[in-house]
Structure 1
Amino acid sequence: MKITVLSGGPRKTGRTKIAANYIAEKFNTELVDLSELILPVFTGEESQYENKAVKELQEKVRAAEGIVLLSPEYHGGMSGALKNALDFLNSEYFAQKSVALLTVAGGGKGGINTLNQLRVIMRALYANAIPKQLVLDPHCFNKEEGKLFDEPAALVKQLMDELTLYTKVTNQIRTENA
């Protein structure tokens, strides 16, 4: 089963990158890191789809059977980097795929707005955003060692287990209806 992590954190370092790297390594997933894959600002012009980074993004998401979307929460919403990347993808890339949603917040009540925005966008793209979702606050990270503490890591495992379950069921239904 091919799971792709789309990390919407634009920073070269930071908690979103720590979480994305953890998922990619621990669960053997493909990582598309928007701090490294530099996309043009989406304008909708056809010529943009010839951009090498845009093609790479589209190929990796198309090949995925399940997807994890990660974003920091900036000013009550998802990162511009992730929204920009999603604008280059349409329902052709997401329809009937299981998607896990995870946000990295600054603390307090942060994160829920980003999760809600991602859920709305996934609905518009005909994706199946799984019920379980996750907010990781600053206290979830051991920033000095660049890793998650054990309890939040267990929550990430639960999220990935649910994504795996939904992806398997979706694949089985596709196979039976083929």
Structure 2
Amino acid sequence: MKVTLIAGSNRANATSTSLLRYVESLLKAQDISVAFIDLAQLQLPLFSPDNWEFHPNVRHVLEAIADGDGLILATPEYHGSLSGALKNALDYVTAGQVAGKAVLSVSSAGGPLGVSSLTHLQSIVRNLHGINCSEWISIGSGSHSFGSDGRPVDEEVSSRVRNGVDSFVNLTRKLAATATVANE
């Protein structure tokens, strides 16, 4: 199984990226192959439907999404929504690259939780015909601390993240098995 993770902040040392790095470590501990895209390091030009000759960075993102069995999207919450960097990246994506794949939405917020950004992400996923995981992961301002091992300092947060990742992995495996049977 291969999972594509997209860190949707263009801020250095973003909490949402740290959270996604922890998710990455949980997936790798289960011997799951991971493609990690950090939009702070792999910047994309502003999407325009008038230009379909994509920049190499855009092609890299689209190939990683197409190659993955599942997708995890992480964003900071800005003004009740997802980051502009992640929205711009998702504007390049077509339904054929996401359709039928499990998608887990992850956020970090300056307030208690980033529920609005998660709701917006799940709406975008539905429009791309992806399958939203029944769980989502959000951490608020009180849980932004990570230890030297990359794990959240707050054990409750760490447990919630593990549960969300486990739910996502189970869904991704079920969908992959269903796709294999359908293709036989």
Question: When the two structures are superposed, what TM-score results if normalisation uses the length of structure 2?
Answer: 0.90
Q: Any unmatched runs of 5+ in structure 2? A: 29-33
SS at match of 1:46: coil
1:33-112 matches, cutoff 5 A: 33-49=38-54, 51-108=55-112, 110-112=113-115
Where does residue 176 of structure 2 map in the other structure?
171
1:67 counterpart letter in structure 2: L
Tell me the matched-pair count: 176
1:91-170 matches, cutoff 5 A: 91-108=95-112, 110-142=113-145, 145=148, 147-149=151-153, 150-170=155-175
Q: Which whole-Å CA distance do the structure 1 matches of 2:14 and 2:73 have between them?
A: 16
Q: Could you say what the CA RMSD is over the residues aligned between the two structures, in angstroms?
A: 1.5
1:8 correspondence with 2:12: no
TM-fit CA distance, 1:143: 5.2
Contact 2:26 2:162 in 1 (8 A): no
Contact 1:141 1:147 in 2 (8 A): no
Question: When the two structures are superposed, what TM-score results if normalisation uses the length of structure 1?
Answer: 0.93
Percentage of matched positions with identical amino acids: 27
Moved over 3 A (4+): 143-147
